Structure 1
Amino acid sequence: MHSFTYTANPGRILFGFGKLEALGEEIRAAGMTRVLLLSTPQQVDQVQALSDTLGDLSAGVFSDARMHTPAEVTEQALKYLKSVGADGIVSLGGGSTIGLGKALALRTNLGQIVIPTTYAGSEMTPILGETADGVKRTLRSEKVLPETVIYDVDLTMTLPAAMSGLSGMNAVAHAIEALYCREANPVTSLIAAEGVRALTEALPRIAKDPADRAARSDALYGAWLCGTCLGTVGMALHHKLCHALGGAFDLPHAATHTIVLPHALAYTAPAIPEVMARLRETLNTDDPARRLYEIGCEIGAPEGLKALEMPEEGIARVVDLSLENPYWNPRPLDREGLTLLLEDAFHGRPPSQH
């Protein structure tokens, strides 16, 4: 056994059906008296209803969370938070809402309770990605790690099948990179493999039957595990490419991750034979990168970055951004290989090794 370092992040987890009923109790247990509830515009009715049930525990609702956590939106939310005198943050939603909650926690040191309604997994990480002037930058800080996460499977039952698949594959990307990132360790690898297994088995079932309660529970369980991986180790090429794409072209976060993941894995595969052997077992396939691509097809993912309206000439810009400030990767980054990778991802072709 090689030497390693494993750091477990603190946090309280509630998992199961009907767990949202415990929110008021969790707010009081955390020492909060007036919480600001956050959501996207699409979930404002849901979060407003939750605010109504909390009564005096709710200081108000800010429902303008956006993808990639734009700095200007954070400033608007911060101003509102101060105006209502909130002493805690409750985020209901997916990565956009959770990102805003983290950005506020970074600036205020207030505690957070997160209620995920997708499978993105960012609720388990001390990582925040913020966008300003067309560039998305990430930071790692214990100040942005939520103190409590409530996983209520009931809240995911109405998540559209297409969105379920994309957010789930976003979570899978966290675990895939956790297997080969610089900080990889045996404990995280066990969690990662189980998270990949749970999600990749559940997502095609949800695509066929969105009301499958067992599949929904398995997917949320997998998302928790995959998020835990991202919260305890670092990132590599896949996340660098997705951050560059999202910041430069405002592409939808989960769809971008779903499209890029098979290609980033195929690029790195020659340098990680042991990881590929593990993924062959986990995914029950001879070609893990191709299987991830096939799952994308099964869940109805967009056919390439061009389907997200990314301009083809933007490929060169993303390559430049990736090389200017590269993340560590087992296979070193080279311009030609990254260009071919992104061309495959752009056109929606199956992954190939370059």
Structure 2
Amino acid sequence: MSLVFEHVSLGQRVLFGNGKAADYLAQEVRRLKARRIMLIASDRAQPAAQQITAQIEVLVNYTQVVMHVPFEVAQHARAVAREYDVDVLVCVGGGSATGLAKAIALDTGLPIIAVPTTYSGSEATNMWGLTVDARKTTGVNDAVLPKTVIYDAEFTMELPVELSVASGLNGMAHCIDSLWGPRADPINQALATEGITALAAGLPSIVDDPQDLAGREQLLYGAYLSAVSFASAGSGLHHKICHVLGGTFDLPHAQTHATVLAYVLAFNMDAAPEASERIARALGATDALAGFQRLRKQLDAPVRLADYGFTQDNIAEAVEIILPVVPANNPRPVTRDNLTALLNAALVGDDPIVVRKADTAESHD
């Protein structure tokens, strides 16, 4: 069968190397001819940020980084950028720092240099998100794609194992969603498969030894691949669910993704056999769900949304918000009943097999 598809690759400079972040950042600031630099890093990320920016002069150090990027925070940060006539944004940290930089760039067009210290992957996408009145709104705009990403695994060494696991599985969720996203094609599917392989190799190694630098390199590499594939393929069912859980119910980003992924995989896999085969091979398994469950157990990964504040009373509201944004090309029809069953299972940590075996002969609401 001949291949017919349209693929768009995003233009971005990627610099990768242990112990090189400060040198790389100074190099990029010179290349962009930037003079008025706004650093975006949370209080927790300040020690790393100070090391990374040691060779440049920072005009504004903005620390008000909040998960899910509340609109009010974005507006304040935008005003600060204008007040100081900033000409480049440098974000250091996880997805929240990158997300805030994107919110500023969306409004101002300022270039971003991103130095991620987690495995969220936001730094390699042109997707932005803002939370307004407990509703997370997302969009795509090339203005928010960082001009340069600097990966230095040394600055992920302080990320606790538990959060590293959740963040790495968040990256894996990008990969798996990319296999059946709205614009899935053979190129982003290949990137996603390699991303799963890298993340599945790196995660167990840092659980065994949190100071395993090679393992953390694999995680950054996998996170980058996951983000590039996701930016191309678009947001699938998993991300539509998690954006609602995070934006409306304020659930923690990485842990929510890590928890829900098994249930979306179980939900879709039999309706997407080619994607399931790719996932299984990347996990070194004969069955995608069995391989993922084995990895999740090995990592002692999150298993229950109830552990993060989600409740039975929240499910009906979540279903009503998610249903209208479910991608039309999702492999398996999504209905109020089967989506409710998925969230019920994820709430209490039921075996995902119950979602896989649920009736698949339903039609869209």
Length-normalised TM-score, structure 2? 0.93
Contact 2:170–2:254 (CA under 8 A) maintained in structure 1: yes
Q: Deviations over 1:307-337 (max 9, x none)?
A: 0011221111111111133223121211111
Q: Secondary structure at the match of 1:13?
A: strand
Looking at structure 2, the residues matched to 286 and 77 of structure 1 have their Cα atoms a distance apart, in angstroms, of 48
Looking at structure 1, the residues matched to 222 and 52 of structure 2 have their Cα atoms a distance apart, in angstroms, of 26
Q: Deviations over 1:285-307 (max 9, x none)?
A: 23322432343333233330000
Q: Which residue of 2 aligns with 1:35?
A: 37
Contact 1:59–1:85 (CA under 8 A) maintained in structure 2: no
Q: Which residue of 2 aligns with 1:64?
A: 64
Letter in 2 for 1:132: V
Looking at structure 1, the residues matched to 299 and 141 of structure 2 have their Cα atoms a distance apart, in angstroms, of 34
Unmatched segments (≥5 aa) in structure 2: 359-365
Q: Which residue of 1 aligns with 2:24?
A: 22
Contact 1:124–1:230 (CA under 8 A) maintained in structure 2: no
Looking at structure 2, the residues matched to 269 and 201 of structure 1 have their Cα atoms a distance apart, in angstroms, of 22
Q: Which residue of 2 aligns with 1:7?
A: 8
Q: Which residue of 2 aligns with 1:331?
A: 332
Deviation at 1:49, TM superposition (A): 4.8
Q: How does 1:189-228 map to 2 (within 5 A)?
A: 189-228=189-228
Deviation at 1:186, TM superposition (A): 1.1
Q: Which residue of 2 aligns with 1:155?
A: 155
Deviation at 1:85, TM superposition (A): 2.2
Q: Which residue of 1 aligns with 2:116?
A: 116
Q: Which residue of 1 aligns with 2:307?
A: 307
Looking at structure 2, the residues matched to 293 and 319 of structure 1 have their Cα atoms a distance apart, in angstroms, of 25
Looking at structure 2, the residues matched to 108 and 146 of structure 1 have their Cα atoms a distance apart, in angstroms, of 13
Looking at structure 2, the residues matched to 63 and 44 of structure 1 have their Cα atoms a distance apart, in angstroms, of 8
Looking at structure 1, the residues matched to 323 and 276 of structure 2 have their Cα atoms a distance apart, in angstroms, of 25
Letter in 2 for 1:42: R
Q: Deviations over 1:67-126 (max 9, x none)?
A: 111111111111222222211100001100000000000000010100010111111100
Looking at structure 2, the residues matched to 208 and 9 of structure 1 have their Cα atoms a distance apart, in angstroms, of 35
Q: Which residue of 1 aligns with 2:167?
A: 167
52 and 201 in structure 1: CA distance in 2 versus 1, 3 angstrom threshold: closer
Q: Which residue of 2 aligns with 1:129?
A: 129
Looking at structure 1, the residues matched to 87 and 267 of structure 2 have their Cα atoms a distance apart, in angstroms, of 46
Q: Deviations over 1:135-168 (max 9, x none)?
A: 0011001011111000011111221111111111
Letter in 2 for 1:14: L
Deviation at 1:46, TM superposition (A): 3.0
Looking at structure 2, the residues matched to 233 and 252 of structure 1 have their Cα atoms a distance apart, in angstroms, of 24
- Percentage identity across paired residues of the two chains: 38
83 and 52 in structure 1: CA distance in 2 versus 1, 3 angstrom threshold: farther
Letter in 1 for 2:157: M
Q: Which residue of 2 aligns with 1:286?
A: 286
Looking at structure 2, the residues matched to 333 and 165 of structure 1 have their Cα atoms a distance apart, in angstroms, of 29
Looking at structure 2, the residues matched to 50 and 155 of structure 1 have their Cα atoms a distance apart, in angstroms, of 9
Looking at structure 2, the residues matched to 113 and 351 of structure 1 have their Cα atoms a distance apart, in angstroms, of 39
Q: What CA RMSD, in Å, does the superposition of the two structures yield over aligned residues? A: 1.4
Contact 2:280–2:291 (CA under 8 A) maintained in structure 1: no
Contact 2:311–2:347 (CA under 8 A) maintained in structure 1: no
Unmatched segments (≥5 aa) in structure 1: none
Looking at structure 2, the residues matched to 44 and 79 of structure 1 have their Cα atoms a distance apart, in angstroms, of 22
Looking at structure 1, the residues matched to 303 and 263 of structure 2 have their Cα atoms a distance apart, in angstroms, of 13
Q: Deviations over 1:169-199 (max 9, x none)?
A: 1011111111122311111111110000110
Looking at structure 2, the residues matched to 41 and 332 of structure 1 have their Cα atoms a distance apart, in angstroms, of 44
Letter in 1 for 2:344: E
Looking at structure 1, the residues matched to 303 and 262 of structure 2 have their Cα atoms a distance apart, in angstroms, of 13
Looking at structure 1, the residues matched to 140 and 312 of structure 2 have their Cα atoms a distance apart, in angstroms, of 32
Q: Which residue of 1 aligns with 2:96?
A: 96
Q: How does 1:51-90 map to 2 (within 5 A)?
A: 51=53, 53-55=55-57, 58-90=58-90
Q: Secondary structure at the match of 1:106?
A: helix
Letter in 1 for 2:147: E
Length-normalised TM-score, structure 1? 0.96
Letter in 2 for 1:103: A
* Count of aligned residue pairs for this structure pair: 352
Looking at structure 1, the residues matched to 312 and 204 of structure 2 have their Cα atoms a distance apart, in angstroms, of 30
Deviation at 1:48, TM superposition (A): 4.0
Q: Which residue of 2 aligns with 1:46?
A: 48
Letter in 2 for 1:117: T
Q: Secondary structure at the match of 1:54?
A: coil
